[in-house]
Amino acid sequence: MSKEQSFTDRLWDFFCSLKLAIVTLILLALTSIIGTVIEQNLPVEEYLQKYGMSESTYKTLDALQFFDMYHSYWFLSLMGIFAVNLICCSIKRLPRIIKTVRNPVLVADDGLFRTFSNKEEIVAAGTVASVRDKLVVLLGKKFASPVVTEQDGKVYLFAQKGAYSRFGVYVTHSSILIIFLGAMIGNIWGFKAYVNIVEGKSVNQVWARAGQQPIPLGFEVRCDNFDVTFYEGGRPKEFSSELVVLENGQEVLKKTIEVNDPLSYKGLTFYQSSYGPAGDPVYQFRVRNRATGETVDVMGQQGKHLPLPGGASLIPMGYADSYQNFGPAAQVSLDSGDHKHGTPFIVFQNYPQFDEKRGGEFAVTLLGAQQSYFTGLQVAKDPGVWVVWLGCLLMVLGSCSAFFLSHRRLWVSIQPLQKGVGVKFGGAAHRNQPGFTLYFDDLKKDFDDALSS
Amino acid sequence: MNSSLLFNITTIAYFAAMVVFIVFLTSRNKALGFGATLICWVGFLANTAAIGMRWYEAYAMGYEQAPLSNLYESVVFFAWAILLIYLLFDLKYKQRAIGAFVLPFAFGGMIWAQWSLDATIQPLVPALQSNWLTYHVFTCFIGYAAFAMACGVSIMYLIKSGKEEKSAEQSPAGGLLGLFPSVKVLDDLNYKAIMVGFPMLTLGIITGAAWANYAWGTYWSWDPKETWSLIVWFIYAAFLHARFTRGWVGKRAAWLSIFGFAATIFCYLGVNLVLSGLHSYGGS
């Protein structure tokens, strides 16, 4: 029986210990490195090729869950131990702190005075009552209004400041648990998804990033227009999508989103993340018959035969926004009327004379190509995110109070002596002792001044 | 007057301050300590003006962006932040000798930026066009700078405590170590610097998460940079808790502080230069 008791006691002490906290933090730091060296969640083949892993190495590491380590059982267990450690420490220490704050020791006996490193004794003139009144006023003005206790002809004063800073540590600790809670809520009731919308089209479902399952939205999102702008020199400056939310065909919300400026509707948020060409571009060419000098403009989609006078046709085959720094270019071929593709060649929008040099029946110039785009959106639903932000806010407030505020307490005992009044006072701070010593030395002077006048 | 001239002045001032601090330690001439501190202030003002000027230059080129947009700008900002923290600690604690161990970080950063980093002003890619960039970078770098300070102080601690152990019976350490603060003060300064750095790092991680959530819809995705910032956070959290445990103060705390700063530097530079390199080389 006693053996069992001691086991649970030991277990409890183990989970309350500061050593466990330090060891857990260091283990979390060390193990976290693994996932930054081994890229996470790649397909099997990539690990075998990219890292030159043998199949057996792969199997071992996979069994250790090194390829998705931040969601592995052992890493989550480590986080779990961290959380249990935080909870146990708080349960163990909090009641004592609450007692210290709620029911402070009002009467300082000699035993307590011996524990102070900041203390002073003065013999003052006057009566116990007059000294008491002077010190009550002084403390109220310089520090905090004291609690007065009269006992056996002696008077005791107690004053404190910043008592609540004692809770800073526990606010910080619970903020971590709150962030964990927010993350769990997000994992259970939220999702991450993506969707591509072609300009002018609308969607009513998105695709989960994990599992690629469709998720119905319950409303429609249409992309009216997509736009991309570039800096001089070709770096992308901004890309944006004009989005419209439709409920039963009715427009309910309209917003142009950009990277760093998403659209939110009914708990879902749509983020601009990528873009790309949608379908084949529509081309416009000017074709000159070199023999007759006759010029004709033709227009049509990729792969189509665009008829030219005299039975021949032009077939656009591909497009590039910038072909080897010569600007927009198209690859085309000619069909001289026998329904066969001729040798493909390149024509440029910015160099209309270029194709004259090729020779042959026709000289072709690219007038332009219209490429329609799709906009790539990340879609996220995370009902836990506000819980996470609450946790972050508490963490900032808690750690500021834990680091920069201090619980300072002062005790005074006033007792009649054979000649005069004996005043003993001392104090303690639970943090920043050197700072408190400076403060206490100033206070000593104030006491001297007040009691000698 | 343009920003690159001001950055040159900054680099020279930090170098001069570093040298004068070292001479101060060997000669024990108090005037030199004061002089070195004065040079630090000159360098810091030049650094501040240079960053402001670069901001203006980008603005004149039509880019509305804070000068925190690439590696060069972040390194010179890091040097600025180190001086800011150092000078604040100097005003409060007046321990001149520390300069000799903190200035090398600022000078090293400046000379590296000047010699081998690309200083051209480039416009921001869309993903970085956000006010969050400023808050995020500012908080992180104040944190990093405080950790640099703590690391310098910890190195002093290890040197001094090592010497004191060897010559315990002789008179208090003289020579170079004569002007070092006592081990108790060094230990306390280490703790105080981390007490500034840790909340700033926490804020840096939080602003980063908030920004990621705002831009991508995920506040945490375990990418190497995020993970390394968390590793740094874990190490300093361990440090702060170690203070309350017997046997973990003093030397072990100093070592933890040095490891913490090594991890900080890896988080700042290594993740981009080593890890991404590893991936991109491996991929081809």
* pLDDT value at A322 more than 80: no
Min Cα separation B15/chain A (Å)? 34
Min Cα separation A134/chain B (Å)? 34
pLDDT of residue B80: 98
Burial class of A337 by CB neighbour count within 10 A (0 to 12, 13 to 18, 19+) = exposed
pLDDT of residue B175: 62
For residues A52 and A73, the model is more confident at: A73
For residues B98 and B163, the model is more confident at: B98
Using alpha carbons, select from B65, B82, B61 the residue that is nearest to residue B18: B82
Task: Calculate mean pLDDT across residues A355-375.
Answer: 85
Residues of B in contact with A433 (CB under 8 A): none
Question: Alpha-carbon Rg of chain B, whole angstroms?
Answer: 20
CB B3 within 8 A of CB B58: no
Does A392 contact B at CB distance below 8 Å? yes
Does B12 contact A at CB distance below 8 Å? no
pLDDT of residue A384: 94
| C-alpha span between A117 and A429 (Å, rounded) | 10
* pLDDT value at B282 more than 50: no
Instruction: Give me A271's structure tokens.
Output: 């983020």
Residue A27 CB-half CA count within 13 A:
15
Residues of B in contact with A389 (CB under 8 A): 210
pLDDT of residue B176: 67
Beta-ladder partners of A275: A375
Under the banding of pLDDT at 50, 70 and 90, the label for residue B250 is confident
What are the respective helix, strand and coil percentages of chain A, to the nearest 5?
40, 35, 25
Under the banding of pLDDT at 50, 70 and 90, the label for residue A233 is low
Interface test with B, best of A16, A19, A20, A22 (most B CBs within 10 A): A22
- Whether residues B199 and A238 touch (CB distance < 8 A) is answered with no
Residues of B in contact with A262 (CB under 8 A): 214-215, 217
Min Cα separation B217/chain A (Å)? 6
Residues of B in contact with A28 (CB under 8 A): 234
User: SS3 of A151, please?
Assistant: strand
Residue A209 CB-half CA count within 13 A:
15
**Among B220, B227, B275, whose Cβ lies nearest the Cβ of A32?**
B227
Instruction: Give me A6's structure tokens.
Output: 């001691």
Task: Calculate mean pLDDT across residues A428-449.
Answer: 87
Task: Calculate mean pLDDT across residues B219-236.
Answer: 93
* pLDDT value at A32 more than 80: yes
Residues of A in contact with B231 (CB under 8 A): 29, 32-33
Interior/surface letters A71-99, b for 16+ CB within 10 angstroms, e for the rest: ebeebeebbebbbebbebbbeeeeeebee
Under the banding of pLDDT at 50, 70 and 90, the label for residue A309 is confident
Amino acid letter for position B236: Y
Task: Calculate mean pLDDT across residues A273-297.
Answer: 87
Does B270 contact A at CB distance below 8 Å? no
* pLDDT value at B28 more than 90: no
Under the banding of pLDDT at 50, 70 and 90, the label for residue B284 is very low
pLDDT of residue A437: 87
Question: Alpha-carbon Rg of chain A, whole angstroms?
Answer: 39
**Among B222, B234, B275, whose Cβ lies nearest the Cβ of A25?**
B234
Task: Calculate mean pLDDT across residues B30-57.
Answer: 95
* pLDDT value at A197 more than 50: yes
Under the banding of pLDDT at 50, 70 and 90, the label for residue A402 is confident
**Among B217, B241, B279, whose Cβ lies nearest the Cβ of A380?**
B217
Does B238 contact A at CB distance below 8 Å? yes
The DSSP secondary-structure symbol of B96 reads G
Instruction: Give me A73's structure tokens.
Output: 């059982």
| C-alpha span between A317 and A256 (Å, rounded) | 34
Q: What is the DSSP string of A381-441?
A: E-TTHHHHHHHHHHHHHHHHHHHH---EEEEEEEEE-SSSEEEEEEEEESS-HHHHHHHHH
Segment 189-208 of chain A within 8 Å of chain B by CB: 192
| C-alpha span between A33 and A50 (Å, rounded) | 19
- Whether residues B238 and A26 touch (CB distance < 8 A) is answered with yes
| C-alpha span between B284 and B280 (Å, rounded) | 7
Segment 193-222 of chain B within 8 Å of chain A by CB: 195, 198-199, 202-203, 206, 209-210, 213-220, 222
Under the banding of pLDDT at 50, 70 and 90, the label for residue A234 is low
Interior/surface letters A159-173, b for 16+ CB within 10 angstroms, e for the rest: bbebbebbbbbbbbb
Under the banding of pLDDT at 50, 70 and 90, the label for residue B281 is very low
Task: Calculate mean pLDDT across residues A356-364.
Answer: 84
pLDDT of residue A354: 85
Segment 77-96 of chain B within 8 Å of chain A by CB: none
Residue A167 CB-half CA count within 13 A:
14
Phi, psi for residue B10 in degrees, rounded to 5? -55, -50
Task: Calculate mean pLDDT across residues A419-432.
Answer: 89
Under the banding of pLDDT at 50, 70 and 90, the label for residue B9 is very high
Under the banding of pLDDT at 50, 70 and 90, the label for residue A388 is very high
ipTM of the complex: 0.88
**Among B132, B215, B279, whose Cβ lies nearest the Cβ of A271?**
B215
Helix ranges restricted to H, A227-357: none
User: SS3 of B11, please?
Assistant: helix
Beta-ladder partners of A195: A377
Using alpha carbons, select from B90, B129, B33, B9 the residue that is nearest to residue A258: B129
* Minimum mean pLDDT range among A250-254, A347-351, B168-172: B168-172
pLDDT of residue B280: 40
* pLDDT value at B167 more than 70: no
Amino acid letter for position A235: R
Q: What is the DSSP string of B248-281?
A: SSTHHHHHHHHHHHHHHHIIIIIIIIIIHHHHHH
CB B83 within 8 A of CB B47: yes
Instruction: Give me A398's structure tokens.
Output: 């808690």
Average pLDDT, chain B: 89
* Cα B165-B171-B177 angle, rounded to 5 deg: 65
- Whether residues A392 and B206 touch (CB distance < 8 A) is answered with yes
Residues of A in contact with B245 (CB under 8 A): 18-19, 22
Cβ neighbours for A381, distance < 8 A, ≥ 6 positions apart:
A189, A190, A191, A267, A268, A269
Instruction: Give me A433's structure tokens.
Output: 């002792």
Most confident of A3-12, A16-25, A323-332: A16-25
* pLDDT value at B283 more than 60: no
* pLDDT value at B35 more than 90: yes
Tens of pLDDT, residues B74-86:
999 999 999 999 9
Place of tokens 């700078």: B145
Using alpha carbons, select from B243, B239, B250 the residue that is nearest to residue B160: B250
